[in-house]
Amino acid sequence: MSLFKLTLKELQDKFTAGEVTAVEIARSYLLRLNQVEPKIKAYITLTPKETLLQQAKAIDDGLLAWRKTQPMMAMPLGIKDNICTEGIRTTCGSRMLQNFVPPYNASVMESLRPHQPLILGKTNLDEFAMGSSTEHSAFGPSRNPWNQKFIPGGSSGGSAAAVAADECVAALGSDTGGSIRQPAACCGVVGFKPTYGRVSRYGLIAFASSLDQIGPITKTVTDAAILLNVIAGFDPMDSTSANREVPDFTKAVKKKDVKKLIIGVPQEYFSEGLDPEVFESVQAAIQVLQELGGKIQEVTLPSTERAIATYYLLATAEASSNLARYDGVKYGFRAKESRELAEMYRSTRSQGFGPEVKRRIMLGTYALSAGYYEAYYGKAQAVRTLIQRDFDAVFQEVDLLVSPVMPTTAFQLGERLEDPLQMYLSDIYTIPASLAGLPAISVPCGFSTMGLPIGLQMVGRRFEESIVLRAAYAYEQATNWRTKRPVIRS
């Protein structure tokens, strides 16, 4: 069996047992990248072949005298291109940062470094993580491995496509309003957004600082737990990092039932606009959870209908503030032939940012402007509190919430580019959990008649990732969706 077809746990076991070498792993993935990357376009920057093989050989040489391995040692990873990597170009999918090479690592990269993973490259994304389709990248769109005429989701579309296409064994993404879960659902893989504050944001290039969170995209729930174990934890470099004990998440992926768990089904997530095939797959998944011992209970989250409007006021306001630093002065793109400072600012931002980023900066600037701050930004903050209270009230009654990840399956490339509102509605089921800072996972739960994956979302209480992982693992093991892989013809 080709090594690139293995899950993280399977590959890790083979490497730890000495059945395969790091060089053999690297060569297998280099071959796979050569075969499918020209079609999928999951990466913006790839690690040079010679560099990757040298790193793999160094791992093997070090193990000759000392066989003990770290959990992620020699594991081939893709890193979303808004996570700073020292000495490796980090573009955020934008012309503004197309030649930016960070002088430091993000904290998650520092957490990974002692394990010596093989970093295959930086994965594609919507510019500055603003989008739901990866079509807003300055480097062109990535494609869905199940059907290359369709989007892979966004903004972590490159990471999800790379995992689904076996172009890495696992990847890191970031989730602001659904940007891990939605592409994972589109590509038929697992995507996990931890509780806000569980994983350090230091070195994650900011979109909306009160929402952004790094998390794993993997082939299985077990793999997600393994990777989360490595990247989670308190970080004094991040003022929003939670100083809480981190459990061993792999202990949650042992039991194959959900006995004693009360599972809530929010009625607002099954209303008008939900595709019938998605509805049927999610309902079938809920039935499986019931058969596994879960008690199913219908619940209500009355503020759900306000979540999209709330998110697109808060997130754009924060984006407007965070992106003000890109002015062509200190680093990044600078427009040429400007005769005065104001003209240089204007030209740099006009040429450096794409249309979707400009749209969100303008929305956010308006929401923060004098005379409108309380009416828009202030009101949105108040509604965010109502959404959080809805979840707090529901979690007094249930242990877990289940729902679709998105209203439809992946749509065709170009289908919604001229209709931003339809694009924004792709995240209608993922945004509420982001606003409340809750842990949430997407696991495959079916396919449409067109052969496109469908995702099941599970949401838990703050810092109760283990319950989410336990339920996701039990469902995954009771079904065979995890065994389905796309066929990409060379």
> Are 105 and 227 found together in one domain?
yes
The range of the structural domain enclosing residue 350 comes to 304-386
Rounded CA gap, 424 and 427, in Å? Answer: 6
Active-site pick, 28, 94, 142, 155: 155
Q: How confident is the model at residue 65 (pLDDT cuts 50, 70, 90)?
A: low
Q: How confident is the model at residue 258 (pLDDT cuts 50, 70, 90)?
A: very high
Say how many Å lie between the first and final Cα of the chain, rounded. Answer: 18
Residue 32 inside a domain? The answer is: yes
pLDDT exceeds 80 at position 68 = no
**What's the pLDDT score for residue 142?**
98
- Interval 9-26: pLDDT, tens: 999 999 999 999 999 999
Residue 256 inside a domain? The answer is: no
> Are 181 and 46 found together in one domain?
yes
**Other CB atoms within 10 A of residue 151 CB:** 30
Higher-confidence residue of 338 and 190: namely 190
**What's the average model confidence in pLDDT over 196-205?**
98
pLDDT exceeds 90 at position 66 = no
Q: How confident is the model at residue 321 (pLDDT cuts 50, 70, 90)?
A: very high
Q: Between the CA of residue 314 and those of 209, 277, 365, 394, 483, what are the distances in Å?
A: 10, 32, 11, 24, 39
Give the CA angle between residues 212, 145, 178 to the nearest 5°. Answer: 20
Active-site pick, 41, 80, 122, 193: 80
> Are 93 and 205 found together in one domain?
yes
> Are 167 and 311 found together in one domain?
no
pLDDT exceeds 70 at position 1 = no
Residue 467 inside a domain? The answer is: no
Residue 456 inside a domain? The answer is: no
Active-site pick, 156, 174, 179, 320: 179
> Are 99 and 215 found together in one domain?
yes
Number of domains in the chain: 2
Give one DSSP letter per residue of 350-370, joined into a string.
HHHS-HHHHHHHHHHHHHHST
Residue 447 inside a domain? The answer is: no
Q: How confident is the model at residue 271 (pLDDT cuts 50, 70, 90)?
A: confident
> Are 377 and 420 found together in one domain?
no
**What's the average model confidence in pLDDT over 227-238?**
98
**What's the pLDDT score for residue 100?**
96
**What's the pLDDT score for residue 63?**
83
**What's the pLDDT score for residue 122?**
98
Higher-confidence residue of 64 and 102: namely 102
466 is catalytic: no
> Are 234 and 357 found together in one domain?
no
- Interval 176-185: pLDDT, tens: 999 999 999 9
Q: How confident is the model at residue 255 (pLDDT cuts 50, 70, 90)?
A: confident
pLDDT exceeds 80 at position 67 = no
Q: How confident is the model at residue 69 (pLDDT cuts 50, 70, 90)?
A: confident
Residue 283 inside a domain? The answer is: no
**What's the pLDDT score for residue 254?**
93
**What's the pLDDT score for residue 421?**
86
**What's the pLDDT score for residue 59?**
95
> Are 84 and 152 found together in one domain?
yes
Give the CA angle between residues 203, 237, 212 to the nearest 5°. Answer: 50
**What's the pLDDT score for residue 223?**
98
- Interval 132-174: pLDDT, tens: 999 999 999 999 999 999 999 999 999 999 999 999 999 999 9
Element (H, E) at 224: helix 221-231
3-state helix, strand, coil in the chain (%, to 5): 45, 15, 40
- Interval 77-135: pLDDT, tens: 999 999 999 999 999 999 999 999 999 999 999 999 999 999 999 999 999 999 999 99
- Interval 324-354: pLDDT, tens: 999 999 889 999 888 899 999 999 999 999 9
> Are 112 and 198 found together in one domain?
yes
> Are 167 and 314 found together in one domain?
no
pLDDT exceeds 80 at position 489 = no
Residue 263 inside a domain? The answer is: no
**What's the pLDDT score for residue 403?**
98
Rounded CA gap, 217 and 219, in Å? Answer: 7
80 is catalytic: yes
Q: Between the CA of residue 263 and those of 50, 179, 225, 396, what are the distances in Å?
A: 50, 24, 21, 12
Residue ending a domain, choose from 386, 420, 446: 386
**What's the pLDDT score for residue 96?**
97
pTM of this prediction? 0.97
The encoded tokens of residue 19 equal 């059945």
The CATH number for 29's domain is 3.90.1300.10
Residue 297 inside a domain? The answer is: no
**What's the pLDDT score for residue 490?**
62
Rounded CA gap, 226 and 223, in Å? Answer: 5
Rounded CA gap, 124 and 141, in Å? Answer: 8
* Residue whose C-alpha is closest to residue 121's, from 48, 201, 206, 28: 48
> Are 16 and 133 found together in one domain?
yes
> Are 66 and 160 found together in one domain?
yes
